[in-house]
A and B are shown apart, each in its own frame.
Chain A
Amino acid sequence: NAGVTQTPKFRILKIGQSMTLQCTQDMNHNYMYWYRQDPGMGLKLIYYSVGAGITDKGEVPNGYNVSRSTTEDFPLRLELAAPSQTSVYFCASSHDYLSPNEQFFGPGTRLTVL
């Protein structure tokens, strides 16, 4: 299994541009998550999904959108990028029938907005 994969690894955006961060998992997990990590800080939850077609906001959802059309994919959309969105973005997934859930993280996407 590849686990959780994210693309791209790095990206530089100009202010006002848009982009989609891709996340795919091959573990048949229903739960998926998007986090951001600012320098020297812990991770903050942006959005999460408990299954295809179901998404909900986390702690810092403003400026982002998500969709979940399949179990495997959970893309994160940035509209009108701002310098405050410069961060490292991590996608994660977990089982839904094991409690507590162990989350499996991807390698991250480093985004810079100039």
Chain B
Amino acid sequence: DAKTTQPNSMESNEEEPVHLPCNHSTISGTDYIHWYRQLPSQGPEYVIHGLTSNVNNRMASLAIAEDRKSSTLILHRATLRDAAVYYCILTITQGGSEKLVFGKGTKLTVNP
């Protein structure tokens, strides 16, 4: 299975940008890069995904390296509500269904 590597933890101040890195050097040409986050005591929630081009949505931006071996999730202005564990995930297709293979993620602390 394609693996991702993320820092265990990161810290940010409120209203500052946050750049969460992810390495995925074994990514294949058809693997999408997904980001989910898990707020305390909740289930994970989808943040963003991309294949080759940078992506923006209302929650975040995803910057993907040209060789696709790394990506960065960008929160433009961190709020206290963004404190969560962020998972960078490469999907695998098995039995006709795409699977999310979760690592340990990056725990983001946002300081007021």
Q: A27–B44 Cα gap in the complex (Å)? A: 17
**Tally of B interface residues using CB under 8 Å:** 23
Most buried by A among B45, B49, B102, B103: B102
Please report the C-alpha to C-alpha distance between residue A95 and residue B100 in the assembled complex, in whole angstroms.
Answer: 14
Task: From B34, B43, B96, B102, give the contact of A107 (CB < 8 A).
Answer: B43
A48 CB contact (under 8 Å) in B34, B46, B99, B103? B99
Q: How far is the CA of A69 from the CA of B99 in the complex (A)?
A: 22
What distance in Å separates the Cβ of B101 from its nearest Cβ neighbour in chain A? 8
CB-based contact A107/B42 at 8 Å: yes
Contacts of A100 in B (CB 8 A): 32, 34, 49, 91, 98
Which listed segment binds B: A11-19, A39-47, A73-81?
A: A39-47
- Contact A50–B97 (Cβ < 8 Å): yes
Contact assessment for B102 and A92 in the assembled complex, using a CB-CB cutoff below 8 Å: no
| Closest B residue to A102 using CB positions | B46
Instruction: Count A-side interface residues using an 8 Å CB cutoff.
Output: 27
In the complex, what residues of A have CB within 8 A of residue B97's CB?
A: 31, 48, 50, 56, 96, 101
**Contact in complex: A44, B102 (CB < 8 Å):** yes
Interface bits B88-112 vs A (CB < 8 Å: 1, else 0): 0001000111111111110000000
Task: Given the known inter-chain contacts A41-B104, A43-B102, A100-B34, please indicate yes or no for A105 contacting B44, CB distance below 8 A.
Answer: yes
Q: A58-B99, A100-B32, A101-B91 are in contact. List 9 more A-B contacts (CB 8 A).
A: A42-B102, A42-B105, A44-B102, A45-B100, A90-B43, A90-B44, A94-B98, A101-B97, A108-B43
Task: Write 19 A-B pairs (CB below 8 A) sorted by A numbering.
Answer: A42-B103, A42-B104, A42-B105, A44-B102, A48-B95, A50-B95, A56-B95, A58-B99, A90-B44, A99-B98, A100-B34, A100-B49, A101-B97, A102-B46, A102-B49, A106-B43, A107-B43, A108-B41, A108-B43
Q: What is the interface of chain A, defined by CB distance below 8 A to chain B? A: 4, 31, 35, 40-45, 48, 50, 56, 58, 90, 92, 94, 96, 99-108
